[in-house]
Amino acid sequence: MKKITVRKIAAMAGVSPATVSRALNNSPLVEVQTRNTILEIARETGFSLPHDLKNPTIAVIGDFFPGDIIGYYSSFFSLIYTEIARRGGHVELVSVQDLNLLNDRIIQGAINYSTSQFDISTRWYNTFSIPLVNINQAVNSNKEVGFVIIDTQAATREAIDCLWRRGHRRIAFLSSETRQAESIKGSRRMFHYKSAMHSHGIKELDELMFFGSDDTLEKNLLCILARNITAVLVPNEMSSIRLEILLHKHHVRVPETLSIVSWECPIVSEALHPPRSTISHGYQEAAREAVSLLYEMMHRKLPARTIFIPSKFIDRKSIFDISASEKASVTTPGKTMIQKKILSALSERPMSRRELATHLGVAPENGNFRKCLGILVKKHLVTLENSAAIHSRKQRYLLEDGTICENGCVEEK
């Protein structure tokens, strides 16, 4: 069999050898149709395509959103790009929806950091013949694909333990994605939250878990406040920033009304007032490990493997330390002073939450006030005037039938 050369491919394609050379080196000077023709001929004739492992071209596959300025996607791309450039490599940016472009270039390897629910790795080698490393994708049975996983398990457990030590029991999980999307994430952040809560004996979590999108964030926040939840875990950088706008809009005081643990936003999280307690991720280490693993696979020195990068919990000032007396009010039949004041006020007339707060001289969204009011409702000492509209701002509270007030002192039934 005659050896296939650049000159022979040029003759078959009807172009010059220089054009073939440019096409094989991904030169932008070659028209797309001409490049595709040359690559197709090269593959059909068994021509050995160039694999410059000293200065390879790496495809970086991801999702791209205009609003993600300092979040996951932009942070990871810049770090991956820097690591590849530091090694003398070149980057081809490819959307997860346009993987067919990989056949139009000479690519030596690929790094996928997309969070798309479409798993590209299961049949990767049926379509492409280059090594692939996935970042934060669910690990599957394809042992030829490398994985780098941001591991939030220990940090999430530490955050929940910290909240628990400071008296929080109703700790919410507030996601900007659907439950289905959360369930297939490689980081398994939802499952780590559930595991940490289960370790403290909290088994029923449905009313503490909120899913949706950025458009439902405000609705979910209001629901959290209405359910007397005292703390929330926000597992997304951009969502935590959008949440700050809503907290200000609804006059929610952090941490007095609501304690927050969110994903770390460099500079921003620490600059907020008060500085936010966060779970910080080793994106730089993950990018470095992903590029190193890909280079190992391209050189065939080591097989594909899975690498875990642990996150860490940073305890700043956004977790409220509930006092011992407030803790006791949750577990004992006795009433705290603020509960007695609420009952005394309602013995005069039904009041809305805002009217009650004004009467007591506290903010309507004060965490202790809301919690005490919720406890009285659960004890059936206080009831809602209209149970069919529990979220209405005009909703009024009144004493349950049988709650007695004598000499200014309210007793339980």
Tell me the pLDDT of the chain averaged across its residues.
Answer: 83
Percentage of the chain beyond pLDDT 90 is 39
Instruction: Name which of 20, 71, 108, 95 is nearest 268 in CA terms.
Output: 71
Residues 6+ apart with CB under 8 A from 70: 237, 238, 241, 265, 266, 268
Residue type, 90: H
The Cα–Cα gap between 24 and 291 comes to 23
* pLDDT at residue 63, as a whole number: 78
pLDDT at 333: 47
Distance of CA 57 to the CA centre of its chain: 30
Q: Which one is predicted more confidently, 149 or 31?
A: 149
CATH superfamily for 153-280 is Response regulator (3.40.50.2300)
pLDDT digits (tens, 9 = 90+) for 171-219: 999 999 999 989 988 889 999 999 999 999 999 999 999 999 889 999 9
Residue of 165, 118, 141 lying closest to 313 (CA atoms): 165
Give the separation between CA 319 and CA 260, rounded to whole angstroms. Answer: 6
313 phi, psi to nearest 5 deg:
-90, 130
What pLDDT, on a 0 to 100 scale, did the predictor assign at position 323? 55
Q: What is the pLDDT of residues 265-289, one digit of tens each?
A: 888 999 999 999 999 999 999 999 9
Who contacts 256 (Cβ-Cβ below 8 Å, separation ≥6)? 320, 366, 367, 368
**Confidence band (pLDDT; 50, 70, 90) for 299?**
confident
Element (H, E) at 42: helix 32-44
| pLDDT level of residue 233 (50, 70, 90 thresholds) | very high
- Look at residue 69 in the predicted model and tell me its pLDDT: 52
Token readout for 190 is 């939802």
Give the global pTM.
Answer: 0.69
pLDDT digits (tens, 9 = 90+) for 337-360: 788 888 888 888 899 888 888 888
CATH class in words for 324-411: mainly alpha
**Mapping DSSP to helix (H, G, I), strand (E, B) and coil, where does residue 143 land?**
coil
What number is the average pLDDT over the span 366-374? 83
Judge residue 154's burial from the number of C-beta atoms within 10 Å of its C-beta, 0-12 exposed, 13-18 middle, 19 or more buried: middle
pLDDT of 62: 84
| Among 133-147, 166-180, 395-409, the range of highest mean pLDDT | 166-180
Map out the domains of the chain as residue ranges: 1-50, 153-280, 324-411
CATH of domain 1-50: 1.10.260.40
Q: What is the average pLDDT across 366-389?
A: 79
Residue 391: its pLDDT value, please? 58
pLDDT tens digits for range 3-27: 777 788 888 888 887 887 777 766 7
Evaluate if residue 409 carries a pLDDT over 90.
no
Tell me: pLDDT of 403 over 80: no
| Contact (Cβ atoms closer than 8 angstroms) between residue 369 and residue 360 | yes
The token pair that represents 86 in the structure block: 């530091």
> 150 near 188, Cβ under 8 Å?
no
pLDDT for the residue numbered 330: 45
